Structure 1
Amino acid sequence: TAGGIFGGLYGYLVQLYLKAIGFDSRAIGLLAMANILCCMILSIPFGLLGDRFGRRNSMLLGCVSIFASVMLLLAFREFPFLLVSFILLGVGNSSFNVLLQPLYASHFEGEEMDKAFGVMGFVSLASNALGSLLGYIPPALMSFQGLSLAEAYWATIAWSSLSLYIALAALLMVRPDKPTGRSFNRGLESKGILYRFSLLNILIGLAAGMFIELATYFLSVKFKVESPSIGMLYFSTSISGALANMAVPQVSRRLGTSGGITAGLILVLPLHLSVAVAPTFPIAAASYIARTSVMNITMTLLSSLMMRMTVDRERAKVNSFISLVSMASRGLGTAFGGTLM
């Protein structure tokens, strides 16, 4: 929860802070690219590290990297230091993207995993939504403390970074998983699962990248809306998605895990299309919220099924490769979608 609150705020506030201290879109784009590339490059290495030395132990490295990244951002305004900051952020993001689900799954078995992943999705989205609301703090600091825009953003990031200590303490309290102690061999018992889920995630990533990554731009251009409307849409989407995740156990019991995934993928297509053809912003927003909620349930069930079918000692390794192909396909989809738009 602490990490989700910080991530919900930091994810968009850092770009506004960089803009306020004088960086243009090109520089901000390069910094964001450094984070993404580092996250992709380290996906498989973190999977190997997690399976050999323990997922919790490897995630501690990621947590320290994120903390160091934020400290560099707060201490320096020169581009080279900020570049190192975003590279370290990529290290931390990669560790959590790859290892959090396998570590979480190691504490559950069988059908209870659907319920556990539903709760995890709810907590993640709810804490992100709460973090996004903290964006009202900078204007308050400017009004009541007389800070400049850049100073208000800096102070908000600095104070919110204290939540990283809570996240680190919570991670230390998690019972360590047992490392396999194996060498980094190429053999995989879960090859079939890896190939099938990779293909499915590639298709989902391409579709999501073509539109979801550019949804802000699309909605703003088509309906002439700006940050207040877009911000409220994303807040509503997070709340709706969090509540939808609580329905995962019911969907699983009624339709089965595979049936729920299939039904979700079928239902999401008309919702996806309705966003594109909606005549007004409220209709597009309602379709977008519904589409995201259905997709959250689908992806939660998909993650649960993958973890359940994968041999425990190989979960981090398999998840690392799937994370890599998912990010790559999402990036390709974004480039293609931008060209189409």
Structure 2
Amino acid sequence: MFSEYGRDAKILIGANAVGQTFLWFSFFLLPFYLRALGYNMRAIGAFFSTQTIVGGIFFLLAGPISLRLGYRKTLLLSAFLGLTGRLLQVLAINSLVLFLGFLLVGMNMGLRQPNYNAYLSELVPEERRHEAFSKSFGLGTLFNSLGVLLAGFLPGYLTGLSLAEETAYRITFSLSLLQFVFVIPALLMVRDVVVRERKIRWEKTLVLKILKFSLPSALIGLGAGITIPFMSLYFKLRFGETLQAISWIFFFQQLAMGLGSFGLPELVKKYGPVKVITAFQGTATFLLVVFPSIETFALAGAVYVLRAILMNIIWPINSSFMMGFFRTEEKATANGIQQAFSTFMRGVGNSIGGTLFAVSLAYPFYATALLYASATALFYAFFIKHNGEKR
């Protein structure tokens, strides 16, 4: 599957995939873990907002830092920050320690993704970029599915051994530290790529390109922040289901998304990246509108899985498409700014979502659908003329 890639690209993709087991694991489990620690929905929203806003700040710093340190050292710095942050979240001695943990994980989030995307795009041939991003995403998502099952079943198993709920969730959440056990050694094994230019020429065309990618991302980030962090709790509150039952929804979501992503490059070759992205996002938006009216857990789970696949499976294509517009020294900065827009708005959305869910279990989905529809229309308008271009 990866024989055509170089050694460093294989190591990077492999370590990312295995690490993803515990990244999605922690994302899925975190709301339940915080509830077990005694925090309410508003407090959970505030913690998520802290993490995402700090992440947004470090998305802006990701490019300048990588121009000084290089992609590999920046990713290592990110990993050590994330490891420390997760450790503080596991300890959770008090609210201040937990708050510091969210701060450090936000820093990790902000530095990691722009530099991973930029680094991977430089390690693979230009003509294989869409394929490499999709394979990286697909493999990582398959490992994600295993993490979701583990997160769903281990707390119940531990409480069955007469452990207190808080202790069971804390032990389970501590496994999130394993992400860095795989990632840090891998980053020590790979070589960095050469960035010849250490300064970015901030011309008008560059700024416009970044803004065209950033504005749709900001709208999607706001919409996602309103609903996505609360989805596992939504299924529990709406249908009264157990954590184990809910985990199966997220398992099938990740499994189907991972398998489907391997075929996505063929669709892109046939129809072009812009048409594929907007078609998938548009369909996902429609499903969000009807989602709150669904009365049964099984059907709601199926619709949520389909919506999540359609919305998320195209992100590696979106990232790869974006990388084709920028020079080597611009990639991390451009991607960082784009994700900063998304992350700042996601942080705002977390607080809005906590408030809206406290009022109604339906309102957040309508708000998110409106924002997704606007983002999809903007992206199509900005980039449809580039749909057939080879970059």
Q: Give me the TM-score of the superposition, normalised by structure 1.
A: 0.86
Q: Find 2:62's aligned residue among 42, 46, 52.
A: 46
Cα shift at 1:233: 1.6
Q: Gaps spanning 5+ residues in structure 2: where?
A: 1-16, 365-391
Structure 1 gaps, min length 5 = none
> Contact 1:210 / 1:330 at 8 angstroms: preserved in 2?
yes
Q: What aligned pairs does 1:256-275 form with structure 2 within 5 A after superposition?
A: 256-275=272-291
**Could you say which residue in structure 2 is the equivalent of 1:182?**
198
Tell me the distance in 2 between the aligned counterparts of 1:258 and 1:163: 33
Is the 8 Å Cα contact of residues 50 and 179 (structure 1) preserved in structure 2? no
Q: Distance in 2 between matches of 1:121 and 1:45?
A: 24
Count of residues in Structure 1 that have an aligned counterpart in Structure 2: 340
| Equivalences for residues 221-300 of structure 1 within 5 A | 222-225=238-241, 227-300=243-316
How many angstroms apart in 2 are the aligned matches of 1:296 and 1:239?
A: 13
The answer as to whether partners of 1:209 and 1:333 remain within 8 angstroms in 2 is: yes
Give the C-alpha shift of residue 148 in structure 1. 3.3
Greater shift in the superposed pair: 211-220 or 4-13 = 211-220
Equivalent residue in structure 1 for 2:207, among 169, 183, 191: 191
CA distance, structure 1, for counterparts of residue 46 and residue 218 of structure 2: 25
* 1:129 counterpart residue number: 145
CA contact (8 A) 2:86 2:176 kept: no
Contact 2:55 2:343 in 1 (8 A): no
Letter in 1 for 2:142: A
Q: How far did 1:110 drift?
A: 2.8
The C-alpha deviation readout for 1:212-235, integer Å capped at 9, x for no partner, is: 455446555555545344322222
1:138 aligns with 2:155: yes
Distance 1:74 1:335 in 2: 23
Superposed CA RMSD in Å reads: 2.9
Hey, what does 1:65 align to over in structure 2? 81
Q: How does 1:25-104 map to 2 (within 5 A)?
A: 25=41, 27-75=43-91, 77-104=93-120
Distance 1:73 1:333 in 2: 22
Distance 1:58 1:188 in 2: 28
Deviating beyond 6 angstroms after TM superposition, the runs of 4 or more aligned structure 1 residues are none
1:308 to 295, 305, 324: 324
Greater mean alpha carbon deviation, residues 262-271 or residues 298-307: 262-271
User: How far apart, CA to CA, are the structure 1 residues paired with 2:214 and 2:22?
Assistant: 30
- Aligned partner of residue 184 in structure 2, secondary structure: helix
Q: 1:158 to 1:330 in 2, by over 3 A?
A: closer
Q: Is the 8 A contact 1:275 1:283 kept in 2?
A: no
1-structure distance, mates of 2:230, 2:31: 16
Equivalent residue number for residue 200 of structure 1: 216
Shift of residue 156 of structure 1?
3.2
Letter in 2 for 1:309: F
User: Structure 1 stretch 66-75 or stretch 302-311: which is displaced more?
Assistant: 66-75
Deviations 1:70-97 (A, max 9, x none): 3334456133223222211111121113
CA displacement 1:31-61 (0-9 Å, x = unmatched): 3333222111221112211233212111111
Offset, 1:175: 2.3
Query: 2:24 maps to what in 1?
Result: 8
**Contact 1:6 1:163 (8 Å CA) reproduced:** yes
Cα contact 1:53–1:181 (8 A) shared by 2: no
| 1:255-274: CA deviation from partner (whole Å, max 9, x where unpaired) | 12223223323433433333
In structure 2, the residue corresponding to 1:106 is in which secondary structure?
helix
Give the counterpart letter for 2:133 in structure 1.
Answer: F
Distance 1:198 1:26, change over 3 A: closer
C-alpha spacing 1:7/1:59, structure 2 compared with 1 (3 Å): same
| 1:173 counterpart = 2:189 | yes
Seen in structure 2, the aligned counterparts of structure 1 residues 80 and 185 have a Cα distance that, compared at 3 Å, is farther
Residue identity in the other structure for 1:46: A
C-alpha separation in 2, matches of 1:30 and 1:209:
12
Stretch moving more, 21-30 or 264-273: 21-30
- Give yes or no for the alignment of 1:164 onto 2:180: yes
Could you tell me how far 1:108 is from its partner in structure 2? 2.1
Q: 1:238 to 1:48 in 2, by over 3 A?
A: same
1:78-126 C-alpha deviation (Å, 9 max, x unpaired): 3322322221111112111332211111112333111111111112222
1:128-184 superposed Cα distances (whole Å, 9 cap, x missing partner): 22111222233334445x543333333334455244222111122222122456257
Alignment check: 8 A CA contact 1:50 1:58 kept: yes
What's the CA shift for 1:63?
A: 0.6
Which residue of the partner structure matches residue 109 of structure 1? Answer: 125
- CA distance, structure 1, for counterparts of residue 327 and residue 264 of structure 2: 23
